[in-house]
């Protein structure tokens, strides 16, 4: 059964106010088209999670749609600190979000545990530090320390996470939702499979036969996927390996804009609220920066040696 | 203190200081900037068999431009293996296979504890910082960590506002109490003025070497705790011609490392 639909329909059907969302990406394959659509549909009171969050999370926070954030980190990388994130926590603008803090070891493991149906998972970080002294909305369920039943040593346990919905951007998927990636993974596979439903946006929809020619690349099987959306340049201004590079100019533009509340409002109006969909976004980008800038983002061709699964 | 103008920049010297801490065959977790530069210098000089990895999921990347983030697209083509956080942070780091991790922080204290979470009170932050990311697990689990910091009384602290990443916590014996890997912990704090190392007995950072354009007095005056001085304190050896050649001709022909001078690493 084909699950192909527009992003507008996918978000309207499967993302609801108050949902717990995993949003994939690590500069690599950030699902920015979907982030913009959530902001356009003004779906709020969200709990959001990912290891190493960046500009997309900052934007959702700035747009006032985030209630809670299960976090390891939020920064705009080379552009600087996340200004919306800071305004929220330092000044309560537009409101103070609740943050539960883990690390880039414990959080991916919590998602992995969720994906595997485990109730919790032992991890070997955070001990002895103030990360154990701050608890937010998860309260005493942020972690437990027990004496290991095997060797008696103090052992840190953290709970499994099962988001309501995962939104990921991938290179290619078939119409039923078998989703394939290559390149840096971040916590995308763990996070997607931990969620009950997965919305897949992709650079291209391919036949099931194409998926079958290199099935080791599939990170989400079709039965987990509820929507497949073909959204070329869907990760811009992040990148998708083999398709396009990071757009540093656009990343910087967001950083500059988000320095102030007015700047953020103007940015969101220009690039999100006054934009119909991703195609419209690309038209606006080309209008604003020229076709040459757009083309310059395109990745070079450098295909790998074909693999054979034959027997 | 030398009166001649050095033929290298401070960030170049600091990158070389980091590089010299890496031994051949080490498994190294790097980020971007200094750490990546340092680890790559080592690979070209004394540690050709060191294996570098980024927490985002990349092992033995062969980037053709300096990576600007640990998720940078240039890390993908040519790598030996690409997975994700579960592979690098779980299967490699937590499994105990990482020899060296590089860390930096807005605040570093005399026991090598690092704060990247908050300046001021946690619930009412004066300045909210990004958070742990991969730093806490690297500081907890790598055999040794190298800390990069700016040397002034704001960046170095007697006690950090928030311990995001463990150094030696409250001092000798604390890491063992929490069950961290044996003999693990910070090996050095590399600053823009000096190299500090940690006393075997007390685990407090002391002055081991001062950079050629700095004096011991200046360093002591810019350190917020009563800095002990090694009896063998000595000037940091300047970058060798070979190290400079690797930096300028191989790793960073466009001189991107100079951005650190704008950030105050001079």
Distance from CA of A1 to the nearest CA of B (A): 30
Q: What is the pLDDT of residue B1?
A: 43
Are residues A244 and A236 in contact, defined by beta-carbon separation less than 8 angstroms?
yes
Q: Could you tell me the pLDDT band of residue B255, with boundaries at 50, 70 and 90?
A: confident
Q: Could you tell me the pLDDT band of residue B2, with boundaries at 50, 70 and 90?
A: very low
Please check whether residue B55 touches A, CB under 8 A: yes
B153-168, pLDDT tens digit by residue?
Answer: 999 999 999 999 999 9
The helix/strand/coil state of B24 is coil
Q: What is the pLDDT of residue B35?
A: 83
Please check whether residue B117 touches A, CB under 8 A: yes
- Out of B73, B94, B131, the one facing A245 most closely (by C-beta) is B73
Nearest chain B alpha carbon to A244: B73
Nearest chain A alpha carbon to B115: A130
More reliable by pLDDT, B37 or A224: A224
Kindly determine whether residue B136 and residue A131, on different chains, have CB atoms separated by under 8 Å: yes
Kindly determine whether residue A129 and residue B135, on different chains, have CB atoms separated by under 8 Å: no
Distance from CA of B248 to the nearest CA of A (A): 22
The helix/strand/coil state of B135 is helix
Give chain B's mean pLDDT: 94
SS3 readout for chain A? CCCECCHHHHHHHHCCCCCEEEECCECECCCHHHHHHHHHCCCCCEEEECCCECHHHHHHHHCCCEEEEEECCEECHHHCECHHHHHHHHHCCCCCCEEEECCCCHHHHHHHHHHCCCCEEEECCCCCCHHHCCCCCCHHHHCEEEECCCCCCEEEEEECCCCCEEEEEEEEECCCCCEECCCCCCCHHHHHHHCCEEEEEEEEECCHHHHHHCHHHEEECHHHEEEEEECCCCCCCCEECCCECCCHHHHHHHHHHHCCHHHHHHHHHHHHHCCCCHHHHHHHHHHHHCHHHHHHCECCCCCCCCCCCCC
Q: What is the pLDDT of residue B126?
A: 95
Are residues A84 and A62 in contact, defined by beta-carbon separation less than 8 angstroms?
yes
C-alpha pair distances (Å), B80 with each of A163, B51, B59, B131: 32, 10, 6, 29
ipTM field: 0.96
Are residues B85 and A104 in contact, defined by beta-carbon separation less than 8 angstroms?
yes
The helix/strand/coil state of B112 is coil
- Out of B75, B83, B125, the one facing A90 most closely (by C-beta) is B125
Residues of A in contact with B163 (CB under 8 A): 128-130
DSSP H helices in chain B: 10-19, 33-44, 85, 135-141, 174-177, 216-221, 241-245, 259-262
Would you please indicate which residues of B are annotated as catalytic (active-site) residues?
55
How many whole angstroms separate alpha carbon A21 and alpha carbon A55? Answer: 16
Q: Which of A188-192, B60-64, B227-231 has the lowest mean pLDDT?
A: B60-64
Q: Mind giving me the DSSP string for B44-64? A: HTT-TT-EEEETTTEES---S
Residues of A in contact with B162 (CB under 8 A): 130
Tens digit of pLDDT at every position of chain A (311 positions): 999 999 999 999 999 999 999 999 988 999 999 999 999 999 999 999 999 999 999 999 999 999 999 999 999 988 889 999 999 999 999 999 999 999 999 999 999 999 999 999 999 999 999 999 999 999 999 999 999 999 988 899 999 999 999 999 999 999 999 999 999 999 999 999 999 999 999 999 999 999 999 999 999 999 999 999 999 999 999 999 999 999 999 999 999 999 999 999 999 999 999 999 999 999 999 999 999 999 999 999 999 999 999 99
Residues of B in contact with A168 (CB under 8 A): none
Residue B25: which region, alpha, beta or left (left: phi > 0; alpha: psi -120 to 50)?
A: left
Q: What is the pLDDT of residue B3?
A: 43
Q: Which two tokens stand for residue B109?
A: 């204290």
Are residues A190 and B86 in contact, defined by beta-carbon separation less than 8 angstroms?
yes
Mean pLDDT of B188-202: 97
Question: Looking at chain B from residue 176 to 195, which residues have their Cβ under 8 Å from any Cβ of chain A?
Answer: 177-180
Would the pLDDT of B89 be above 90? yes
For domain A1-299, the question of CATH label 3.50.50.60 is answered with no
More reliable by pLDDT, B1 or A126: A126
How many whole angstroms separate alpha carbon A186 and alpha carbon B121? Answer: 31
How many whole angstroms separate alpha carbon B193 and alpha carbon B188? Answer: 13
Q: What is the pLDDT of residue B52?
A: 96
Q: Could you tell me the pLDDT band of residue B5, with boundaries at 50, 70 and 90?
A: low
Of A109, A130, A124, the residue nearest A154 (C-alpha): A124
Kindly determine whether residue B73 and residue A82, on different chains, have CB atoms separated by under 8 Å: no
Q: Tell me which of A92, A103, A134 to substitute to probe the interface with B (most B C-beta atoms closer than 10 Å).
A: A103
Of B10, B16, B65, B62, the residue nearest B39 (C-alpha): B16
User: Hey, what domains does chain B have and what are their CATH numbers?
Assistant: 10-259 (3.40.1080.10)
Mean pLDDT of B208-212: 98
Could you tell me the residue ranges of all domains in chain A?
A: 1-299
Question: Looking at chain B from residue 149 to 178, which residues have their Cβ under 8 Å from any Cβ of chain A?
Answer: 162-166, 169, 174-175, 177-178
The helix/strand/coil state of B162 is coil
- Out of B70, B122, B137, the one facing A125 most closely (by C-beta) is B137
How many whole angstroms separate alpha carbon A35 and alpha carbon A32? Answer: 5
């Amino acid at each position: 059964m084909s699950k192909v639909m527009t992003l507008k329909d996918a978000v309207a059907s499967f993302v609801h106010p108050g949902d717990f969302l995993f949003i994939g990406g690590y500069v690599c394959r950030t699902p920015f088209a979907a982030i913009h659509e959530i902001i356009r549909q003004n779906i709020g009171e969200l709990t959001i999670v990912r290891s190493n969050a960046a500009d997309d999370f900052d934007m959702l926070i700035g747009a006032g749609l985030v209630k809670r954030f299960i976090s390891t980190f939020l920064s705009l990388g080379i552009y600087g600190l996340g200004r919306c994130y800071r305004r929220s926590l330092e000044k309560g603008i537009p409101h103070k979000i609740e943050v539960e803090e883990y690390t880039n070891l414990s959080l991916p493991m919590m998602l992995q545990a969720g994906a595997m149906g485990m109730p919790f998972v032992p991890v070997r970080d955070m001990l002895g530090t103030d990360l154990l002294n701050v608890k937010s909305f998860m309260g005493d369920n942020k972690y437990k320390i027990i004496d290991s039943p095997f060797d008696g040593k103090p052992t840190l346990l953290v709970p499994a996470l099962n988001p309501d919905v995962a939104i990921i951007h991938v290179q290619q998927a078939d119409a039923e939702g078998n989703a394939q990636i290559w390149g840096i993974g971040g916590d995308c596979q763990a996070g997607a499979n931990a969620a009950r439903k997965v919305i897949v946006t992709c650079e291209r929809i391919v036949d099931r036969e194409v998926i079958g020619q290199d099935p080791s690349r599939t990170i989400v099987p079709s039965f987990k996927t509820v929507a497949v959306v073909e959204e070329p340049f869907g990760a811009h201004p992040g990148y998708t390996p083999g398709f396009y590079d990071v757009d540093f100019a656009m990343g910087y533009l967001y950083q500059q804009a988000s320095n102030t509340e007015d700047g953020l409002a103007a940015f969101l109006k220009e690039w999100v609220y006054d934009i119909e969909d991703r195609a419209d976004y690309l038209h606006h980008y080309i209008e604003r920066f020229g076709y040459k800038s757009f083309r310059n983002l395109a990745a070079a061709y450098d295909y790998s040696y074909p693999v054979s699964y034959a027997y | 203190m030398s009166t001649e103008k050095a033929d290298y920049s401070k960030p170049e010297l600091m990158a070389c200081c980091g590089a010299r801490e890496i031994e051949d065959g080490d498994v190294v977790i790097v980020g971007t900037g200094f750490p990546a530069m340092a680890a790559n210098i080592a690979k070209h000089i004394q540690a050709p068999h060191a294996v570098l990895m980024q927490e985002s999921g990349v092992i033995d990347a062969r980037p053709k431009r300096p990576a600007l983030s640990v998720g940078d697209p240039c890390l993908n083509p040519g790598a030996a293996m690409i997975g994700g956080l579960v592979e690098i942070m779980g299967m490699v780091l937590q499994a105990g296979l990482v020899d060296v991790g590089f860390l930096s922080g807005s605040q570093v204290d005399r026991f090598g504890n690092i704060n990247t979470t908050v300046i001021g009170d946690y619930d009412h932050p004066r300045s909210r910082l990004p958070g742990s990311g991969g730093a806490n697990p690297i500081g907890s689990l790598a055999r040794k960590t190298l800390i990069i910091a700016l040397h002034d009384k704001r960046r170095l602290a007697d006690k950090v506002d928030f311990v995001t990443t463990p150094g030696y916590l409250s001092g000798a014996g604390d890491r063992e109490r929490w069950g961290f890997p044996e003999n693990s912990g910070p090996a050095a704090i590399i600053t823009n003025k000096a190299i500090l190392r940690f006393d075997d007995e007390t685990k407090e950072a002391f002055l081991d070497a001062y950079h050629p354009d700095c004096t011991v007095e200046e360093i002591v005056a810019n350190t917020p705790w009563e800095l002990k001085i090694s009896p063998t304190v000595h000037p940091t050896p300047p970058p060798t011609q070979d190290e400079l050649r690797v930096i300028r001709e191989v790793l960073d022909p466009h001189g991107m490392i100079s951005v650190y001078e704008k950030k105050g690493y001079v």
